[in-house]
Every structure is written in structure tokens, then in C-alpha cells.
Amino acid sequence: MALATAIQLDGTAVTIKSIVPKISNARAQKLGTIIDKTSAKYDVKPDILVAIIAQESAFRQGAVNCRVKADYVKRISVVSCDLGVSQINFETWGKVLKLNPCRLRSDDAYGIDAAARILARVKRANPDDPIWWSKYHDSREIHRNKYENLVFSRLDKANIVLALVAE
């Protein structure tokens, strides 16, 4: 009988696991490695990426969140969809970044890379804003403040709030 080997978590995987305890150790380690590489590539702190992905999808692979509208005769139409582990809004970012919607849903590394590219753009556009990352979801002030609070609540679990604000 083979014995299962426990996966030891390190680095970003520990942060992921502290924010989303239900995630498996293997998935936390895999995603932590992807996030570390991607964060370095785009000069975005891994903690920011972890907190945003935790808020967006709780690291659920293939996550889809669509907004719909109904007209007066009860016809429903899709307005926009957020796709994948990073919940990339395809209508907003798909053409700008030349993204593949199927890959956003199925490929964690691809979705995390897209999120980091978006964050790098937001960071460059807001160099004097210490919480520039809060514009990831929506740059409108009313939505931004709500999002900031949601992400901060995720970060509190990992004791990394002050490090993000000081960036």
C-alpha cells in the first residue's frame, strides 16, 4: 500500500491557504508558484494578486459570473461575463488584451497572467495612488470603495494589509 505524501506549502501558497482554507494544498502550491512567477514578470506584489483572486473567485477554476438583464417581455440577455479564476471581464478586457475566453475559463496560468497584465496597467495609470489595485474590479469610486473593503477583509486573514497600503 502506497502512502500519500503530504504537500508542504511555502511562500505564496501559505498566503493562499490562509485566505481560502478550503483549497487543497496541492492547488494552493500550484497557484502559488504561478502567482510568484507572474507577479515578478509584471512587477505586481503576489499578495495583491492573491487577495484579488481570492475575492473574485476564491480560486475556483472555471468560475463564470454573468450579468443579465430582462426586458419587459421577460426576455433575458447576457450583458457581460467575468471568466476564470481571475474573473476577467471579457467584454472590457478581451479585445484590449486579445484574450481567449475558453482559455480564461480553463487555464489558471493564462487567467492569472491576464489579471497581472491588467493590474500592471492600472498601476502604471495610477502611480500616486497607494491603493491603485482597488481599480481592478471597477474604477468608479462607489464600486472601488466597496471592492477595497472586500479585498482588505481577505487580506486581514493573512495579516498583509499594511504591506499593501505602504507599496
Query: What is the residue extent of each domain of the chain?
Result: 17-165
- Residue 167 DSSP one-character state: -
pTM: 0.85
List, for residues 76-126, the tens digit of each pLDDT value. 665 688 999 999 999 899 989 999 999 999 999 999 999 999 999 999 999
In the block, cell 468608479 appears at 140
Q: In what order do the strands lie in the sheet with 76-83?
A: 64-70, 76-83, 88-89
Which residue in 120, 125, 50 sits closest to 86, CA to CA?
50
DSSP secondary structure letters along 94-113: TTTTT--HHHHHH-HHHHHH
Q: What is the CATH number of domain 17-165?
A: 1.10.530
List, for residues 19-58, the tens digit of each pLDDT value. 999 999 999 999 999 999 999 999 999 999 999 999 999 9
Contact 38, 113 (CB under 8 A): yes
CA–CA separation, 138 and 91 (whole Å): 13
